[in-house]
Structure 1
């Protein structure tokens, strides 16, 4: 009786057809397949300088932004250009976490302790470019700033022929946060236009217009009054596109001959004079942005702390007084009423009482270092 033979397993047809591991070309047995290598994992992005996983510290681009070197995005570009070194080693990738003990050098200059995040209100005049440098050699906003102001960046822009409120900060993260459309802050402008448009003529702006394929979000527009050959409008927007208001009005046949930004979210131009700079108190900044004490790094007003910024050599003299001199000049003026004033909170569009300033940004230094305050009846509060 024949013994039953154990059936041999044969390669599947699919494997044979595909030239899989069961056969090789020419009918020769295929060599044993090498063991599969473990899948490559993406490099750990949150690492320290020695490549170990993050246990503390911050990303290098975030640190540069906090020092006011550039916004986080621009800081990543600076890193990729090989302009940054950490503990003597040039880095080209932002995928690095650094500690407070690390020595960071940018363009040959050692970074010190970062300043507290600060914000200034600046009344930009016309004729200045909102850029660090201008290829046409025109004067920039930063050329006109007071020489004793620390290194700052602008929050957004105002074009050459526009004027009014421009926010300045020494912190790249704060700059980015204030510029994001998701912040949702209204930017309000007083606009003088040529001619006498009717309210109906402005309706397309309220609905939103499309210019050369670019969609502009609906604007809040009011026709305030006619004045001779011109008319005054108030326009509020939440975007920050290049020349947005001018282009939108041009699309309906209306020409702008003056554009003045009067508020940016809760921050208002108020009585700030052309070319003048005024610092926002730290507690106000913290309250308005919902920043923690750790984010701001201080609870006291920046004016009460010694300024860490170094005067920039070769800067022109300030157009307007800044600091104590400006405060003395303003103290000599009668105090205005601050009806509707609140030290924090307030309406998002910066509305307040007639003649009042937004959120108490005016800082009149008193003998004890605190700002002068008004009583509710509008009269100056006697100093103790």
Structure 2
């Protein structure tokens, strides 16, 4: 997967998103509002393909070159929504992320109560590609459950399971340790359906008390503290994803993790 110059053209909404101005959906709204011009003509529809030679203006200002693809690891705490705005007024990850971060989108999601590794990127196209089940990226979790674990039933999950008409693919699950009426389970899956881990374990009469994502494909949570953000070095993106990086500048060093927001608490598993 490489970041290459536009040759055959791309949709205007995608071009605006790659420039880091907005999401594709917002771009379509801007076009409907008459805020976008291409080659001096106000667009009336997002069904427009632009090339490198197109002159694009937004609110009368020329559009700059697309930003290079970047990615960050975020240790999401529980009780944060993975959304830009929550109609119920609950805290979102964007309330906690550093204001110095550019506009980012998430790669995959975590539910409100889940915690752990959440990947962020400024490239919406890259995010969609990495979320595709066809990539076969493994999501790894640690789940603390209430109840006594039947290890044979966990092993059976490797064959997949159907719950209330929904088919879940192969899940690798193993007991880490049983502590009286609670247990820790290690889980690996590739599909990542909505609330898959919680629903499957609840079906086994093992309600989840705590759920932590520890890895998403080749990216790991590691020792990143809760509430911290750490940019993935360009070299890692190039090696792992084939994303081209800009020429190295003198004095370049790996970015340091962002400081935790004031409300974040450090807590180890």
What TM-score does the superposition give when structure 2 sets the normalisation length? 0.82
Match of 1:312 in 2: none
Q: Are the aligned partners of 2:7 and 2:52 in contact in 1 as well (CA < 8 Å)?
A: no
Q: Does 1:97 align with 2:50?
A: yes
Q: Are the aligned partners of 1:79 and 1:92 in contact in 2 as well (CA < 8 Å)?
A: no
Q: Does 1:85 align with 2:27?
A: no
CA distance in 1, matches of 2:21, 2:132: 19
Using CA pairs under 8 Å that are at least 6 residues apart, name the structure with larger relative contact order, 1 or 2: 2
CA distance in 1, matches of 2:27, 2:193: 23
CA distance in 2, matches of 1:83, 1:268: 43
1:300 pairs with one of 248, 257, 269: 248
1:127 pairs with one of 79, 83, 88: 79
Say what the alpha-carbon RMSD is for the aligned residues. 2.8
Match of 2:111 in 1: 159
Residues 83, 163 of structure 1: CA spacing in aligned structure 2 closer, same or farther, 3 A cutoff? farther
Match of 2:230, SS state, is strand
Residues 184, 84 of structure 1: CA spacing in aligned structure 2 closer, same or farther, 3 A cutoff? farther
Q: Are the aligned partners of 1:147 and 1:318 in contact in 2 as well (CA < 8 Å)?
A: no
Match of 1:91, SS state, is coil
Match of 1:224 in 2: 176
Residues 103, 96 of structure 1: CA spacing in aligned structure 2 closer, same or farther, 3 A cutoff? same
User: How far apart are 1:205 and its partner, in Å?
Assistant: 2.2
Residues 83, 157 of structure 1: CA spacing in aligned structure 2 closer, same or farther, 3 A cutoff? farther
User: How far apart are 1:239 and its partner, in Å?
Assistant: 1.4
Q: How many residues align?
A: 250
Which protein has the larger Cα radius of gyration, Structure 1 or Structure 2? 1
User: How far apart are 1:244 and its partner, in Å?
Assistant: 0.8
Q: Are the aligned partners of 2:31 and 2:43 in contact in 1 as well (CA < 8 Å)?
A: no
CA distance in 2, matches of 1:299, 1:194: 51
CA distance in 1, matches of 2:7, 2:77: 47
User: How far apart are 1:178 and its partner, in Å?
Assistant: 1.2
What does 1:177-192 correspond to in 2, within 5 Å?
A: 177-192=129-144
Match of 2:215, SS state, is strand
Q: Name structure 1 gaps, 5 residues minimum.
A: 1-53, 308-316, 321-384
The Cα offsets for residues 186-213 of structure 1, whole Å up to 9 and x where unpaired, read as: 0100111101212013234222111222
Q: Are the aligned partners of 2:73 and 2:119 in contact in 1 as well (CA < 8 Å)?
A: yes
User: How far apart are 1:70 and its partner, in Å?
Assistant: 5.4
Match of 1:63, SS state, is helix
Q: Name structure 2 gaps, 5 residues minimum.
A: 1-5, 263-269
Match of 2:211 in 1: 259
| Structure showing the higher strand proportion among its residues | 2
Match of 2:266 in 1: none
Q: Does 1:277 align with 2:219?
A: no
What TM-score does the superposition give when structure 1 sets the normalisation length? 0.59
Residues 85, 157 of structure 1: CA spacing in aligned structure 2 closer, same or farther, 3 A cutoff? same
